[in-house]
Amino acid sequence: MLSFTKLQTKMLVSFLTLVLIPVIAIGTFSYLIATRFLEKQTTQNQAQTVRLTAGNIKGMLDDATDLSSYIVQNETIQTLLSQPSPSGGADPQKTIYNVLNNLKQAKTYISFLIMYGENDLLFRDFSQYYRQVVPYGEFKESPLYVATAARSGEPHWDYSGAPLFIFGQNYDDIILNRQIVSMYDTDKKLGMFFLGVKRDAMKSLIQDVQINQTTNLLLFDDNYHLIASKFDDIAVSNRLKDNVGEIKRLQRTDETFEYAIGKKTYLAASSFIEPYGWTVVSLTPMEDIRRQHGIMLGMTVALSLSLILIAVALSVVLSRGITSPIKRLLKSMNSFKLGQPHPELAVRSRDEIGHLTQKYNEMVHDLNDLIEKVYISQTNQRMIELRTLQAQIEPHFLYNTLDYIFFNAKINGDDRTAQVVHSLSELFRLSLNKGEDFYKLENEIKQIQAYVNIQHARFPNRFVPLFDIDPAIGGYYTMKLLLQPVVENAILHAFEPSAYRQGLLSIRGHIADDAIVWTVQDNGCGMSAEQVELLLHIPARSKGGYGLRNVNERLQMMFGPAFALQIASSPGAGTIVTVRIPIIEDEEQWRRLYENHGHR
């Protein structure tokens, strides 16, 4: 077992051990929870993005399908195709153009419209450039014609419109195909209709999706052709090109899963586009997700190290604060032993070390008294009389008297009176605060608890106090007598003595938004907005109500308008008073704030 010769070293090691264990445990737990949350969030976001993208694609497919239904069932077009010959009075090309022009202009994704009539009518309209169309007789020998005719007027999509053109390899369109059937005789076939969709229009729907910069979105049709992708990835394209088995592996709609291509692993998700049988697939490199985990780990380590450094600094300060009085006491004892002049040591605490210092001062004082009695007895007598007179007017005399009343009440079994006296003694001690206008929040908490104890003893049936105070705030500094006027206002004015129910007074203190927040809440009679305004800005010469105004002015004078008192109340609904103060960690920080006349 380690052995240390200095008390400060022992305390420092003990403090660090107590701090390191929870910091490491909390840091590890936080990292695990954060990474799991990040993985879950990434999975949910990717699945939701794929579903939204599939919805956008389906919207375009539905729109094109509805448009084709309107065209093939248009009465004018049906009439032209039902004639034995397209030649007639009016130019059939112009007639169809007039019917479709507005629609085509509204649908910017359309690249061409082609209509073959069994009566040798041929209509073609291109959005960008002219193309040479395959003659209808020659086209009837193509697989595209057979597949379209087999559906008897039902629309279907095809990967490429190349069979329609003489130089089809030069064009990159997706086409919607359907046979034109007479509305009046379903057995009569009037021709074929083809609507070309720009592949770039499909790609733009994918590229516009806001997602991880390295996430690729892929769109496959019902024949496992790659229609479009967010960006070109050679490795992915080579792996999936004409590879139906691999594409089927990606088409899982019930889960998000890992998918490997070579040495690279992706997080994959997919969504079907019904009723077309198309699929949207997303691929996110796992290295990007793990990079985010690394960032999270770095943040956790940095935060843990920061907390450890703070803990080390606080441990040094705390251990030094405990051992420094002992060192001063030892130094004074050595000086006294050598006969050197001994100034009285200041008692800076009320703990065991403070009591030891006080007893040491008393011992030295008694020894000096004995020496003085031998040589200057008369002078010593006068000094005793002077000290006796001072003791009668010092606050310690009041404390000692209250202590006597407290112990006497305890001896006589009057615990209630003893408690009130003890609270009153504590209230006086904290209010005087050795003449200082600031102290630690732990003193403010004791002061307000003592005040509430006294008032509750006076009015036991008027209210019930509830305290919910975070112990962590006790070490910070504040101006004294900050909450007492707020609590006093609630006790004296919020609860009516004749009320049918007992009041509830809740006092809470915690850290929020880099500040210490106090709330004093009651379920009393409440106030109107006018009463609240009057309470905060009551005239200086008013006979009462200046307590809250005083607190409000002190807060703003010291910390600025942002820390003004906040009151939320309405008649019959109680009142909530919120007091915010900045976090002040030491006396030096308070003194700098005070010397600068407030406003950090």
pLDDT tens-digit series, residues 39-79: 667 777 777 888 888 888 888 899 989 998 988 888 888 88
393: pLDDT strictly greater than 50: no
Q: Assess contact for 539 and 503: CB atoms under 8 A.
A: no
Instruction: Tell which CATH classification among 3.90.1150.10, 3.40.50.740, 3.30.565.10, 3.40.50.300 matches the domain 462-596.
Output: 3.30.565.10
421: pLDDT strictly greater than 70: no
User: Does residue 92 have a cis peptide bond before it, meaning omega lies within 30 degrees of 0?
Assistant: no
CA-to-CA distance for 473 and 517, rounded, in angstroms?
Answer: 10
Q: Which of 114-123, 146-155, 262-271 is the least confident region? A: 262-271
What are the boundaries of each domain within the chain?
Answer: 19-307, 336-392, 462-596
Buried b (16+ CB within 10 A) or exposed e, 319-345: beeebebeeebeebeeebeeeeebeeb
Q: What is the pLDDT of residue 225?
A: 84
Q: Which two tokens stand for residue 369?
A: 């008294």
Q: Which of 166-175, 397-406, 539-548 is the least confident region? A: 397-406
440: pLDDT strictly greater than 50: yes
CA-to-CA distance for 572 and 574, rounded, in angstroms?
Answer: 6
Q: What is the pLDDT of residue 194?
A: 93
Residues 215-244: what's their mean pLDDT? 80
Q: What is the pLDDT of residue 549?
A: 82
Q: Which of 150-154, 252-256, 302-306 is the least confident region? A: 252-256
Residues 95-110: what's their mean pLDDT? 81
Q: Assess contact for 92 and 121: CB atoms under 8 A.
A: yes
> How confident is the model over 313-362, as pLDDT tens digits?
777 777 677 777 777 777 777 776 666 666 677 777 777 777 777 777 77
User: CB neighbours of 515 closer than 8 A, spacing ≥ 6?
Assistant: 563, 580, 581, 582, 583
464: pLDDT strictly greater than 90: no
Q: What percent of the chain has pLDDT over 70?
A: 75
CA 207 and chain centroid, separation: 30
Does the domain at 19-307 match CATH 3.10.150.10? Answer given as no
188: pLDDT strictly greater than 50: yes
CA-to-CA distance for 428 and 353, rounded, in angstroms?
Answer: 23
Q: What is the pLDDT of residue 383?
A: 38
Helix boundaries (H) for 73-175: 75-82, 92-106, 136-139, 143-149
> How confident is the model over 380-392, as pLDDT tens digits?
444 333 333 333 3
